[in-house]
A = this chain, B = another copy of it.
Amino acid sequence: MSESPEQTHVVWHDNTISREQREQRNQHRGCVVWFTGLSGSGKSTLANLVDRLLFQRGVQSFVLDGDNVRHGLNASPELLASHGDSFAQRFGLGFSAEDREENIRRLGSVAELFASAGVVTLTAFVSPYRQDRAMVRQRVESSGGKGTFVEVFVDAPLAVCESRDPKGLYKLARAGKISHFTGIDDPYEAPQQPELHLSAGTQNAEDLACAVVDFLVQTSLITKQSE
């Protein structure tokens, strides 16, 4: 990006701003912190707490969770009805294994784009299948390098999650009113080697959020705070 001082116009050496340039400017890496666990384990709460801590440190971060993808990117067939029936049935996502696979594939692709933009990307999805998470890891690390995918297992016992039941979904699942519900009639495949394994049934969320931020500092994804 050398420019001779006598030039008055911007010089267009290379049109593309690289990921490294964005990371250097932001003073932290772009990466994906992938929270996985049962419904009610506290993934979304935790991701938002981490987001707040990162925001306070001046880090560019963002949370992807059901709240911001459910009506858009990964809308259900019902929500896509205005596009016509065949469109809605083909592209709308439900809870079958194939639909879940596409759900995570789209989210992983988007998380990778955010990481490429230099953002610490926090995702909060049940993402129950090991293979789907492995594919996201591969995509993220193939563009950002090893260590840019941080799998965080938000581990709370089913009984605890079910007693919290923040959206009343366990009750519906137990009553047979919804099916394919992870932990009830659909499996959850726990991570075997997550970067972080959090005991979310007992420890409080604030302490867990701090542990995630500490991990990001330890692995040099973000810098130690200078105070």
- Residues of chain A at interface, number, CB under 8 A: 47
Are B113 and A64 neighbours in the complex by a CB distance under 8 Å? yes
A60 within 8 A of B: yes
Which B residues are in CB contact (< 8 Å) with A27? none
**Are A48 and B15 neighbours in the complex by a CB distance under 8 Å?**
yes
Find chain B residues with CB under 8 A from A119 CB: 117
Q: Which residues from chain A sit less than 8 Å from chain B, CB to CB?
A: 9-10, 12, 15-17, 21-22, 25, 45, 48-49, 51-53, 55-56, 58, 60, 62-64, 68-69, 72-73, 83, 86-87, 90-91, 98, 101-102, 105-106, 108-110, 112-114, 116-117, 119, 139, 206
Provided the pairs A48-B15, A116-B68, A119-B117 are in contact, do residues A73 and B109 lie with their beta carbons within 8 angstroms? yes
Would you give 24 A-B contacts (Cβ < 8 Å), ordered by A? A9-B206, A12-B49, A12-B206, A15-B52, A16-B51, A16-B52, A16-B63, A17-B55, A21-B55, A25-B58, A60-B60, A60-B117, A62-B113, A69-B113, A72-B108, A72-B109, A72-B113, A72-B139, A87-B102, A90-B98, A90-B102, A91-B102, A91-B105, A114-B117
Residue pair B52, A17 in contact (C-beta under 8 Å): yes
